[in-house]
Amino acid sequence: MTDHVEHLEFQAETHQLLELMIHSVYSNKDTFLRELISNASDALDKLKMEAYRDKDLEADTSDLHIELAVDHDARVLTVRDNGIGMSRAEVVDLIGTLAKSGTAQLRKQLLDAKTDAAAEELIGQFGIGFYSTFMVADKVTLTTRKAGESGGTRWESAAGESTYSIEDLDEAPQGTTVSLQLKPADEDDHLFDYTMEWKLREIVKKYSDFIAWPIRMTVERTVMDGEGEDKTEKTILETQTLNSQKALWTRPKSEVTEEEYKEFYRHVSHAWDDPLETIPMKAEGTFEYQALLFLPSHAPFDLFTREHKRGVQLYVRRVFIMDNCEELMPEYLRFVKGVVDAQDLSLNVSREILQQDRQIRAIRKRLVKKVLSTVKDLRNAEDQEKYQTFWKEFGRVLKEGLLSDTDNRETILAVSSFASTHSTEELTSLPQYVERMAEGQSAIYYMTGESRQQIENSPHMEAFRAKGLEVLVLTDPVDEMWVGSVPEFDGKPFQSIAKGEVDLETEEEKQASEQLREQQEKDFADLLGWLQQTLDASVKEVRLTARLTTSPACVVGDVFDFTPMLERMYRASGQALPETKRILELNPDHALVTGLRDEYAKRKDEEDKSALAETAELLYGTAVLAEGGELKDPAHFARILADRLTRTL
Ligand code: ADP
Ligand code: MG
């Protein structure tokens, strides 16, 4: 052994989370063993695959297994695997830091959590993995040797310390050994005696039965030797395999319990929540495969970050090939977890090959259809609770498919839900919207924006409200993207109420108002022309509108213009955009607008029209603000507004 022991600081966030684990609010402490076994199983999968790919790898794969050993007297539980192991750098990286994104967010929410139950749910959502060992142990020692390397690494940390030690070892057995110095049992705190074999057997049966590798326990058994009073005791050691090792996806649904599916889900997804829906699949024929997919019940913290790993596990004839197989699941279904086991692929299959593979493409297509039809079933179910959970957690992600998956667009639209002016509480589906459409209404009206409030108060909404027309209230960033490229649903085009001209009048109304309109066009022609000149830097057109009932003015875009929110999203992502000029629409019945017209008529021959120009600027500026847009020179706007207000006092 070398003398090189280093003491390293935990990352601040990791340390704080560790503290939370040590004083754990999580009542199901048994789960630490599930996590260690899950990691060991992953390590064995990886070694098997690596040895297959690299024939020169110096590793013994003849008896891959997981071993549990206890030392009653010393109160030590050891979980050992002879899998892939970790290099020193990997130990620091993977074990020294709680590398999951969202850690900071979780910690903050945990500190804010009012009750233990709330904290527990958060931990359940996040999943703690290796660190869950600190719920049951005062000291954790991990010894590991990476397959192919000669030396090993020892990592150790005691509960409550802000550092861990790390040390190089000249030799170590292949794989990873985790030794837990157990806390004293305290059954009131759900902390059991994890040196009791029956307890370990119970936990393995409950959480890890399906693990494909044997989980063995070495037990001591004392038997009586001899007969009568003259007996001697003899201790024999025997090894028991605790799990049945049955691959869950190969078993018919009727033979698998919900509990087993649940635990398998947790293993493949590294999650702690329950699956919302379990989807077993079996395909025979040209491309034979079996799959077991899950819809989670909670979105992971990192669903919208770059680090998020998507995709399901790929097996070939029950041999693990890879995690996070992206080729099998499109990005907009990145929340789907599970396993696909293909019959006819080569064990040698690489990512590059997968991308080209016809069979993989065919399987992916089927998986997508199946997932969508499962969501559709949830949508159509009598009990809407599951669907609502699904939509709350994953709706925003699923809608990305409206852009990227044109083949399934109709289905995605049909299972989607939207906020609308019909109800402030309940979401609506598109078929429901269509059913409620007014007579003569040919389009599905929507408006995008940053919040419901902003949309509801926007001037664009006025005429629609007055006419009782329902408008979809779209506030997710992804909404901005798809509405531009999805032309219609059920033959009804989507139409933004903030773009283009609105025409809400019936034929009769039109005829009745035609004369009035012609008159107005004449009356306002001078003013419109002058405003156009004055505001030329900001607007491309000034026109009268019938869409306003209470506001004096609003700004609208042309049908293909960017909305203010979309513009902001693009700018925020660092993309340069040409300035889009908006259209200013005036309400010809509003006193401010008619007043401005009369004032302009009086002064149109005066040299200095700066006061009028200021009014024009205020009119335009307030319209921009009402829409949720940004002023180009807010300070200037504020100054002229303050001037005006002063004069009114
Ligand atoms: P997760 O399993 O969700 O990645 P964990 O905290 O359980 O999170 O483990 C962190 C990482 O440490 C694993 O992803 C793996 O790379 C590594 N690791 C943990 N246990 C082992 C083990 N027994 N053998 C090899 N690597 C391991
Ligand atoms: Mg893990």
Helices (H), 230-327: 258-269
Q: Is 325 within 8 Å of 350 (Cβ atoms)?
A: no
- Report pLDDT for 106: 78
Confidence at 367, pLDDT banded by 50, 70, 90: very high
- Report pLDDT for 133: 93
Q: Does domain 248-386 have CATH number 3.30.230.80?
A: yes
Per the DSSP assignment, residues forming a β-bridge with 428 are 418
Asked if the model's pLDDT at residue 403 lies above 70, the reply is yes
Confidence at 3, pLDDT banded by 50, 70, 90: low
Instruction: Kindly report each contact of residues 324-329 with a partner whose C-beta sits within 8 Å and lies 24 or more positions away, as own/partner.
Output: 325/354, 327/351, 327/354, 327/355, 327/357, 327/360, 327/364, 328/360, 328/363, 328/364, 328/367, 329/364, 329/367, 329/368
* Weakest mean pLDDT among 437-451, 466-480, 619-633: 619-633
How many angstroms does the Cα of residue 259 sit away from the middle of ligand 2? 19
- Report pLDDT for 228: 58
Q: How far apart are CA 498 and CA 640, in angstroms?
A: 27
Closest ligand 1 atom to 95 CA: 12
Q: How far apart are CA 584 and CA 581, in angstroms?
A: 10
Q: Residue whose CA is closest, atom 8 of ligand 1?
A: 129
The architecture in CATH of the region 417-496 reads 3-Layer(aba) Sandwich (3.40)
* Weakest mean pLDDT among 97-106, 211-220, 366-375: 97-106
The CATH H-level (homologous superfamily) assignment of domain 507-648 is Heat shock protein 90, C-terminal domain (1.20.120.790)
Quickly tell me which residue has 């012609």 as its tokens.
518
Tell me what the mean pLDDT of segment 386-394 comes to.
97
128 alpha carbon, closest ligand: 1
Distances (CA, A) of 94 to 28, 50, 272, 517: 24, 19, 19, 71
Cα pseudo-dihedral 337, 342, 345, 349, rounded to 10: 20
How many angstroms does the Cα of residue 129 sit away from the middle of ligand 2? 4
Asked if the model's pLDDT at residue 170 lies above 80, the reply is yes
Asked if the model's pLDDT at residue 2 lies above 70, the reply is no
99 alpha carbon, closest ligand: 1
- Report pLDDT for 108: 81
Confidence at 120, pLDDT banded by 50, 70, 90: confident
Asked if the model's pLDDT at residue 149 lies above 90, the reply is yes
Four-way CATH pick for 2-241: 3.30.230.70, 3.30.565.10, 2.60.40.1120, 2.70.50.60: 3.30.565.10
How many angstroms does the Cα of residue 130 sit away from the middle of ligand 1? 7
Confidence at 303, pLDDT banded by 50, 70, 90: confident
- Report pLDDT for 500: 80
Q: How far apart are CA 158 and CA 164, in angstroms?
A: 8
Q: Of all residues in the chain, what percent carry a pLDDT higher than 90?
A: 62
Q: Residue whose CA is closest, atom 12 of ligand 1?
A: 94
- Report pLDDT for 229: 63
Q: Which residues form ligand 1's pocket by a CB distance below 6 Å?
A: 35, 39-40, 43, 81, 83-86, 94-95, 129-130, 176, 270
For 578-593, write each residue's pLDDT tens digit.
Answer: 778 889 999 999 999 9
Asked if the model's pLDDT at residue 318 lies above 90, the reply is no
Confidence at 626, pLDDT banded by 50, 70, 90: confident
Closest ligand 1 atom to 84 CA: 25
How many angstroms does the Cα of residue 36 sit away from the middle of ligand 2? 7
Pairing of strands 215-225, 232-241: antiparallel
* Weakest mean pLDDT among 318-322, 358-362, 564-568, 578-582: 564-568
Closest ligand 1 atom to 98 CA: 6
The domain segmentation of the chain, as residue ranges, is 2-241, 248-386, 417-496, 507-648
* Weakest mean pLDDT among 77-86, 351-360, 462-471, 587-596: 351-360
- Report pLDDT for 594: 95
For 515-566, write each residue's pLDDT tens digit.
Answer: 888 899 999 999 999 999 999 999 999 999 988 989 999 999 887 788 777 7
Distances (CA, A) of 635 to 564, 567, 621, 642: 20, 21, 12, 11
Q: How far apart are CA 462 and CA 203, in angstroms?
A: 62
Higher per-residue pLDDT: 228 or 416: 416
- Report pLDDT for 434: 97
How many angstroms does the Cα of residue 510 sit away from the middle of ligand 2? 68
**Mean pLDDT rounded to a whole number for the chain:** 90
Determine the residue of 33, 101, 130, 134 to mutate for testing ligand 1's pocket, defined as the one with the most ligand atoms within 8 A of the Cβ atom.
130
Tell me what the mean pLDDT of segment 39-55 comes to.
93
Q: Is 209 within 8 Å of 247 (Cβ atoms)?
A: no
With helix as H, strand as E and coil as C, how does 76-111 read? Answer: EEEEEECCCCCCHHHHHHHHCCCCCCCHHHHHHHHH
Quickly tell me which residue has 């064995």 as its tokens.
44
- Report pLDDT for 265: 96
Query: End-to-end CA distance of the chain, in Å?
Result: 86
Asked if the model's pLDDT at residue 1 lies above 60, the reply is no
- Report pLDDT for 255: 92
Determine the residue of 50, 94, 103 to mutate for testing ligand 1's pocket, defined as the one with the most ligand atoms within 8 A of the Cβ atom.
94
Closest ligand 1 atom to 81 CA: 23
* Weakest mean pLDDT among 290-294, 391-395, 547-551, 569-573: 569-573
Higher per-residue pLDDT: 162 or 47: 47
How many angstroms does the Cα of residue 180 sit away from the middle of ligand 1? 16
For 222-266, write each residue's pLDDT tens digit.
Answer: 777 766 566 677 777 888 999 999 889 999 999 999 999 999 999
How many angstroms does the Cα of residue 20 sit away from the middle of ligand 1? 20
